[in-house]
Amino acid sequence: MKEMLGRGRSSRLGVRFGRYTLGSVVAVVSSEVAFVICFGSGLLGTTASSAVAFVAGAIPNYVLNRSWAWGRRGRVRVGREVVLYAVVSLVSFGASALATRWASHAAPHVTDRHALRTALVAGAYLATYGVLFLAKFVVFQVVIFADEPKSSPTQEPTTGA
C-alpha cells in the first residue's frame, strides 16, 4: 500500500513538473519575444526591455502555475501566493536585468552587427531564466503553492491505569 501511495505522489509531482515546464515555456516565449522586440528595435535599453519582458511572462506564468500546474482554485492566499510569487519573480527580474546589462556591454567587443548583439543579449536573458528554472520550481512546490497540511483528528490523551 505504501508503494502505491508513494508512486501516486511521485506521479503527481511528475505531472506537476511537466505542467510547470509547459507553463514556463509559454512564459519564456512571451517574455523573450517582448524582450527582442523592445531591445532589438532600439526602443528600450536592457533594463527597461527586461521589465517589459518580465511582465509579459510573469502574468501568464502565475496563472498557469496556480491554476494548471498546482491546481489551485478559488480564493488566493495573498501573503503566500501573490507576495512570495512577486518576490521570486523580482529576484528573477533582477538577475535578468544584470545579465542583459553585462551582455549588452560585452556584445560590442564580440561583434559590430546589431542582429548578433541582440541575439547575444537575448541569449543572456534566456539563460538567466534557464538557470533559475529548477530553483523556482522548488520554491513554488515547497513554499508558494505548498499543500495545506491535512488536519488530523484530535486524539484524546491516554492515561495509564
The number of angstroms, rounded, from the C-alpha of 119 to the middle of its chain's C-alpha atoms is: 22
Dist CA 85 CA 76 (whole Å): 12
**Per-residue model confidence as pLDDT tens digits over 72-104:** 888 888 888 889 988 998 898 899 889 999 999
DSSP conformational letter for 67? I
Residue carrying C-alpha cell 508513494: 6
pTM score over 0.75: no
**Per-residue model confidence as pLDDT tens digits over 99-108:** 999 999 999 9
Dist CA 66 CA 129 (whole Å): 19
Which grid cell is 106? 560585452
Q: Judging by beta carbons within 10 Å of its beta carbon (0-12, 13-18, 19+), is residue 44 exposed, middle or buried?
A: middle
Asked whether 65 and 138 are in contact (CB, 8 A), the reply is no
DSSP conformational letter for 74? S
Instruction: Write down the domain spans for the chain.
Output: 12-144
